[in-house]
Structure 1
Amino acid sequence: MLGKWYARWMFAWETALTTRDENRVVRPIEWGFEWLDDFLREHGVGSASHAPVDAKVAQEWMIALNETIVRASDSFFSYEQPCDYRLEDRHPQLFPTNVRPETLAQDAKFKALAADGKLKTAQFLRFTSPVRTPYPENDLVNARWYPAPEEKQAGKPKQAMIVMPQWNADAFSHNALCSLFNRFGISALRLSKPYHDIRRPAELERSDYAVSSNIGRTIAACRQAVVDIRCCLDWLESQGYEQFGILGTSLGSCYAFIASAHDPRLRVNAFNHASTSFGDVVWTGQSTRHIREAFEEAGMTQQKLQKLWASISPVSYMERFASHSKKVLVVHATYDLTFLREYSLEVLRSFSELGVDFVSKVLPCGHYTTGETPYKFIDGWYLGSFVYSAFKQLAAEPSRQNPVLESVRDEELLSR
């Protein structure tokens, strides 16, 4: 009886949190081939200028394109390393994605403190993303830099985490985790995802272009996020860092997984809410009801959406992920109405079948309530203790070269 009451209370609380923002916009479905035109041309799939007008043909085109991306994902997520890395000092800003009075008041408070010189500046890593969009502000990557104190890094390899918050996160989300990692002697880059906070185009109130009913643009946003993560690793290496990890929450978890599947440098992986299929989450999640509405109006089904976003679904890269040596944490929530529990359990089953070295932790709450007291402290303990322990184990391993360089050397030896 108590369990049933708790479940009803949790589902009601979760629903209230996912419905309090009234600035979600239902946009018509768009295929968005133009966002992937370079890949279309490079792989002989066609070109955006010759994309079919007929909806049924366009759908089959997009499904075929996803299949090609998965087969050629090395090419899709490849990049040329940026040459304009720089650290920028500025006052932190909130960049809220909702218009609730309390949030706007908080934003105004931070701006006033900055104007009065009472707010400390922070360092941000900036560089131009190798994946370009029509929005210059989005293409200037932003990552708040949290270098660990030198005395806490002494006596071990230099270690760093890349932190990817949830969809529609403001610019302060997950900053506390970065400060926590610093206490362990682990530096952190808190990366702004495409179309988020300072990267958000002025025409938007929310980070809608990261996930929307524009299928091609949503794929391109994931591509940009994965490439930006890998570029951050390059910069960290240039600063002398040797061991790397990534923490992603919700949408950030999806981006983090795909980046890690394509980059063996990411040895420590913390997935805070996880699912197998991007399309399943959008179709069944409470926070994406407005996107599902657009697809339903176009006669789309959940099964079709799975295929249309297969190229940005973790399930497509499970075996690739498992082929690298990694330490993994998966946190999921029992009463999650955004990443349904059944999909998180699919991730755990896949990891078990593929022999991934993972730890599973379960929160007695939902997706949005993870950010509420007391659950945020439980979640923080799971994440922080895992990252501390995983990096401690890595530091104790016998000295080895960068795994990417080792792989290149092995291939050279075999070719002789």
Structure 2
Amino acid sequence: MAKSMVVAGVMSGTSVDGVDVAICRVSPAIDASSTPRVKLFGHVGSAYPKAVRAAVLQAMDANAISVAELSRLNWRLGEIYADAIEKAQSQLGLKAALVGCHGQTVYHQGAVEKYLGKPLRTTWQIGEAAVIAERLRVPVVSDLRPADIAAGGQGAPLVPMLDYCMFRSAKVTRVLQNLGGIGNLTAIPAEGGVDGIMAFDTGPGNMVIDACMRRLYEREFDRGGAVARTGQVVPGVVEQLLATEYFTSLPPKSCGREQFGERFVSQFIAMCRNAARDVRDEDVIATATALTSASIVDAYRRFVWRHVGQAAPLSRVEFVAAGGGTKNGTLMGMLRDGLEPLGVKLRLMDEFGVPAQAKEAIAFALLAWLSWNGLPGNVPAATGAQRAVVLGKVSYG
């Protein structure tokens, strides 16, 4: 029988800015009509060492990389995750009995493509879980996406299970938007069950903005959106991009650096330069920020409203943002300006007692607990899987 456990959830996302550890208590559902309960004790973030971050980015965007480099990076990340969990446990004065570790995505292909004569989807997260299990002497649930892909899903998004457990409402339709490297949302109609969830990746979150900042300003990100605030959105570029295949494709869908990495950034900057005369660097950053905002608003208009339309007129619609992008004031202002005319209220995850940076780590704590107890963690309505499945692989400490 499932029991209450203290679980450490570990997340390192496509922004590659570091490792987030959330230590939570996860408890069984009270009855058949409820869901598991999650209580956050605390959250601690750790930055990647500069050389490690560079190695991860290189691995993600490389057309070719040696097996030796990938193997070494896998084991080095295992040590970094173990360090981050130990740091969190020390700072919070808690000891986890179980770890859920997402790992670092180095490749994700959610759409079917033919390879060696066979159509397939694939995903790969690295960070050796055996290292974490040995260091902490507790079981580690890792590699959580492949089981969903094997069941015909896209392996993403996996956060909707947490969204449903923590944020569903009888009176309010909620859209939970994460602003990490990639943007993803979960739409939960008021009074809706788990089968009524819609969830998908909206496109780039911080990824294109950050990459443009590195190229044009040699900075890792646009702090507070200060650079974008001084620029002008280049006319026509965002509209042209929103007409391309990924943005117009129906959910379920997922994306990553394969769609919006360095190759896309080169094309994006060229589009900005060619669209108008005297385009300044700050105009490129403003346009990248507008692409993130507009893709989210467009996703709501194009897909989400249709999905929640029957419930939305009878209930409030709240758009709840989380992730590192919430610190970008210019991006949040653009989102607010795009959503409010639609009658949608923009809120921050922090208002619900969940730090914006902690949400995905909390999600992987919940998923680890579900897997440890033999319970499904994916939401087929979100990923497109044929059935609900138990996620992950276990390394015993």
Q: TM-score, length-normalised on structure 1?
A: 0.26
Higher strand share: 2
